[in-house]
Amino acid sequence: MSDVYNALIVGIGGQGVVLASNVLGEACLAEGRTVRCSETHGMAQRGGSVESHVRINGRYSPLIPPGQADLLISFELLEALRYRHYLKPEGTFVVNEYLVVPTSVYVQRLPVPQKDELLEQLRGDRFYLIDAQALAKEAGSPLTQNIVMVGAASTHLPLAITSLHEGIKRWVPAKTLEMNLKAFDLGRAATTR
């Protein structure tokens, strides 16, 4: 494959967005592909927005232009809405159903966003809603939600499962490897049902 495949991973601080992009980058290296990655994470420790651009077979800029993402993986519903303009019209959207209401909503006495209203705005032909929290708990720890989401997105990535497993092995602590591989498999099964 010589064409660039653009994957954007978004979430909030502490959800493991950067680790997920490192897994994808490592999988690219295992296959001998070029990869360009970049992440932004201002105020991430306080629940701020985090975005990671992964350009598989990328040769130039690590940043994905708006409207050019083949795949958007969102670990949180409001972040999905915030970044949906990056997705191509024919792109794939893999979204965790988790919703974090920012404190500013309460402080400013704004209406609390409703999950159903957000989903109405997000749904499309290639939209997959994942309950990553439940799947991560089934895998053994809620901390594996990011790997659940990588697994869910894996059916749409131009990367082999063995390469993605290599990426996981490289980036998660050895004592959590089995649990993370199970999380990956549960996420993958969620989009192939």
- List, in sequence order, every residue forming a beta bridge with 128; answer none if it has no partner: 94
Q: How many CA atoms lie within 13 A of 85 on its CB side?
A: 3
Phi/psi of residue 107, nearest 5 degrees: -65, -45
At which residue do the structure tokens 């191509």 appear?
88
Structure tokens of 79? 């972040």
pLDDT at 193: 65
- Strands 35-40, 87-96: pairing is unpaired
Sign of the C-alpha dihedral, residues 81, 83, 86, 88?
negative
**What is the rounded distance in angstroms from the CA atom of residue 182 to the CA atom of residue 179?**
5
Q: Each residue's pLDDT tens digit in the chain (193 positions)?
A: 448 999 999 999 889 999 999 999 999 999 999 999 998 766 555 668 899 999 999 888 899 999 999 999 999 999 999 999 999 999 999 999 988 766 665 566 767 778 888 888 888 779 999 999 999 999 999 999 999 999 999 999 999 999 999 999 999 999 999 999 999 999 999 998 6
Name the architecture of domain 5-190.
3-Layer(aba) Sandwich (3.40)
pLDDT at 60: 84
pLDDT at 123: 83
Residues in the chain: 193
In this prediction the pTM is 0.91
Give a three-class secondary structure readout of 8-61.
EEEEECCCCHHHHHHHHHHHHHHCCCCEEEEEECCCHHHCCEEEEEEEECCCCC
Phi/psi of residue 93, nearest 5 degrees: -120, 115
